[in-house]
A = this chain, B = another copy of it.
């Protein structure tokens, strides 16, 4: 029997493993091997396999060390040979890092111990080699602390308890009256090392290990132990990671960029991460460690000469200054630069994607520490993928799968000018309710949104009455409400920037002021909103309009080629419909008719209808609304000519249409010629304890069938009128909020009767469908019966989520953030479809519906229709389409294509 191979070495462009061995070597180990194999100089080291982790848990530490000893010793020797240094040596110490590395990255496990091998001898060697005793002693101090914490278990379990090492540092700083760690002297650091070791002795009863080998075995054991700690077990449970996978251990030589003028460290990108341009770029510092680049204490220099010249121009440096103080790596160390340049090309070709590299130059020798796919902006994401495709480096499917659909959003909305933004003061933080940037003057009332050319509507919360004002304002800020509050939903539909639920903001309508922290803003004051991250800024900030380049169009064409599902849009106006069509929407999945009732005179007729005391008066008022509705429908149906347009019948409770403030009630009373008391009484009678579960949806149409008659008539008349003009209108009439098939049946009968009447009157017929929204759990449970009547289903996952979880989206702000923080929920179910619970009902509804009616058309029109993971779910249950707000259409199209490719 061949001996089981437990240790895989790498270094000097050779490796025993490769990228295909992730299961055995873990992700990190496999990548380190692969980098070597691509001919990249990587600090040498070795990986102990994941199988050893399982052995460790079975047979224990001692026996495993016996099994490993020989191989590990040989592997360390290999490191020493390549690096020309020696483990534990006073002259030329070899230090290593020890890291865990499972198949997938797993927080909760031991992360890293650096500088292992350090002891009272090695510290002197490092001090003399770097000429920097402070650095050497600080490294020692850090090593003892890190090793003490993670290997020897001194780190307290609870975050509230204090790390004993931190306690010692704080005490010393207090004694020395120092503010920062950097103010500690070399002697202080030496003292800390002594005190740290004593603390270890006190807590564990053992001396801190000075023998590098003892240190090494301890660290290896700690990695294996961490696989079975509580946090790791919990993480595996919730992420369905099997225990038997185990973790590997990676041991790798440390390299130092702070060993003098011939050393340095930096990061580089193979292409421009901001623009996607095919331009090698990056920053470095001479005689520095990685932390120094990140910390921003010293100004980092550019890697390429070209980059350096550009930078100097922007930073206002003369060429003399640049060459003297900020020369490029290309100029300073041309050899290392050229090696790096070649390596980056090789790595990008190898991985087929833009790489983000970390490197260190130790005494003139270049070492690559890491390479990974580089993070990038949405624009760069699209450009890089299309460039790589054109360069023949990836295929179409790969180009599509490379896209993060949500990032397309950046391409569709205005953004702040970066320089202007740098000086902006954040005064508030809310939810990123609708992306984009907006700057304008504060108004507090929707009907005053036109007071300024650029206004920001600031409300405690918005209501349907505010619709017109929201449309006029450049952005919307609310103090209350979540990601699916009225403001958020409407704003996303409009593609308008919105920050909702900004908790630190309090609004005083009476004084027309808004207080954000300590600052009080008046009406007319300038503020700015970043709806993509939920920030509120103090003043005016310049914005830049989105540039939709050719790459965007090309990636969308590719998506079209690989998709199965259609993408529709949710749109209430011809304008929205046209925008969405431009973005590639193939039809409308949801037209809310109620928004139409708020414009101009319509609301009067609507209120007259609500106030009617009998059917006759109600019909009279409805007759006034009919022409408006017909006109609206004509516009929308025409804008979506040739595609299906799903029109939802009246849905919200009637109280949303009546004024709740005294002043407005008086106005309404005057208009309608009744007393304000009567108006108040009616408004009060419409009050509901739980309007979400109240008299709304088809419950309106079934208690007041004349409303359905009017709406059905408006839709069918509109379609007939268009057909006469040669326009192909395809209305799909959707009955909302049904829970029983009888509710649908009764509405369907009314619709069919009205349609026949209209056909007779107009002497023309049009095709139309009657279907329903599945948004009540009971409708999904009885979908087989519902489908006997419905010609299509549209899952209203907003309401379905509300009722399946029993969460009111308007009220969930009180507990949902806490649930997310405590891990009771992984995601906000109003943003990401809850596949485990709500998804069961969606799947059940789809399967049972199709069982009763094979060709049942099925879609989704909740907010989830534009969320990539939810779109993938919709694809997997076999929906015909998803529908989302116009500005999410490209995202959904991409997600739909990806789902189909996967």
Contact = CB atoms under 8 A, between A and B. Distances in A.
A815 B693 contact: no
Interface stretch (A90-98, A221-229, A333-341, A683-691): A683-691
Contact of A810 (B689, B703, B742): B689
Interface in A836-862: 836-838, 840-841
Contact of A781 (B694, B742, B819, B840): B840
Contacts of A394: none
Contact of A693 (B692, B742, B776): B692
A825 B740 contact: yes
Interface stretch (A564-572, A724-732, A801-809): A801-809
B693 A802 contact: yes
A746 B825 CA distance: 12
B694 A811 contact: yes
A837 B781 contact: yes
Contacts of A781: 804, 837, 840-841
B693 A808 contact: yes
Contacts of A703: 814-815, 818
Contacts of A814: 688, 694-695, 699, 703
Given A699-B815, A811-B691, A739 B837 contact: yes
Interface in A79-118: none
Contacts of A16: none
B702 A810 contact: no
A824 interface: yes
Nearest to A746: B824
Contacts of A799: 806
A673 interface: no
Contacts of A840: 781-782
A465 interface: no
A799 B807 CA distance: 12
A170 interface: no
A778 interface: yes
A392 interface: no
A690 B776 contact: no
A36 to B, nearest CB: 43
Nearest to A744: B824
Interface string A717-755: 000000000000000000001011011001000000000
A808 B739 contact: no
B693 A824 contact: no
B739 A806 contact: yes
Contacts of A824: 702, 740, 742-743, 746
A814 B692 CA distance: 14
A757 to B, nearest CB: 18
A740 B823 CA distance: 11
A811 B781 CA distance: 23
A538 B778 CA distance: 43
Contacts of A825: 740, 742
A810 B690 CA distance: 8
For this complex, into which size category does the number of interface residues on chain A fall? 35 or more
Contact of A746 (B691, B807, B822): B822
A615 to B, nearest CB: 13
Contacts of A812: 694
Interface string A686-719: 0011111111000100110000000000000000
B689 A808 contact: yes
Contacts of A836: 782
B811 A737 contact: no
A838 B777 CA distance: 9
A901 to B, nearest CB: 30
Nearest to A824: B742
Contacts of A838: 778
B815 A702 contact: yes
A838 B334 CA distance: 75
Contacts of A807: 693, 739
B778 A808 contact: no
Contacts of A743: 819, 824
Given A776-B805, A837-B778, A689 B815 contact: no
Most chain B C-beta atoms within 10 Å of own C-beta, residue among A690, A702, A803, A834:
A690
Contacts of A819: 699, 702, 743
A693 B776 CA distance: 14
Contact of A695 (B690, B695, B815): B815
Interface in A781-818: 781-782, 799, 802-808, 810-812, 814-815, 818
B806 A776 contact: yes
A781 B835 CA distance: 11
Nearest to A801: B778
A192 B532 CA distance: 83
A394 to B, nearest CB: 40
Nearest to A834: B778
Contact of A688 (B699, B805, B808): B808
Interface string A756-786: 0000000000000000000111100110000
A14 to B, nearest CB: 48
A841 B837 CA distance: 12
A643 to B, nearest CB: 30
A808 B692 CA distance: 8
A691 B694 contact: no
A577 B737 CA distance: 41
A806 to B, nearest CB: 4
A704 to B, nearest CB: 10
Interface string A13-33: 000000000000000000000
Given A782-B836, A837-B781, A808 B740 contact: no
A823 B825 CA distance: 41
A805 B692 contact: no
A488 to B, nearest CB: 14
Contacts of A688: 808, 810-811, 814
Most chain B C-beta atoms within 10 Å of own C-beta, residue among A781, A808, A818:
A781
Contact of A689 (B692, B746, B803): B692
Contacts of A691: 689-690, 811
A746 B823 CA distance: 10
A825 B688 CA distance: 22
A734 B823 CA distance: 22
Contact of A690 (B690, B777, B778, B782): B690
A685 B837 CA distance: 30
A782 B839 CA distance: 11
B702 A808 contact: no
Contacts of A695: 811, 814-815
A812 B691 CA distance: 10
Contacts of A689: 691-692, 808, 810-811
A827 to B, nearest CB: 12
A742 B811 contact: no
B837 A782 contact: yes
A661 to B, nearest CB: 16
Nearest to A685: B814
Nearest to A815: B699
A815 B840 CA distance: 29
Contacts of A777: 777, 803-804, 806, 837, 841
The 4 closest A-B pairs by CB, nearest first: A693-B808, A690-B808, A778-B837, A694-B811
Given A739-B806, A777-B837, 4 more contacts: A688-B808, A690-B811, A693-B808, A778-B806
6 contacts: A690-B808, A694-B808, A702-B822, A703-B815, A777-B804, A781-B840
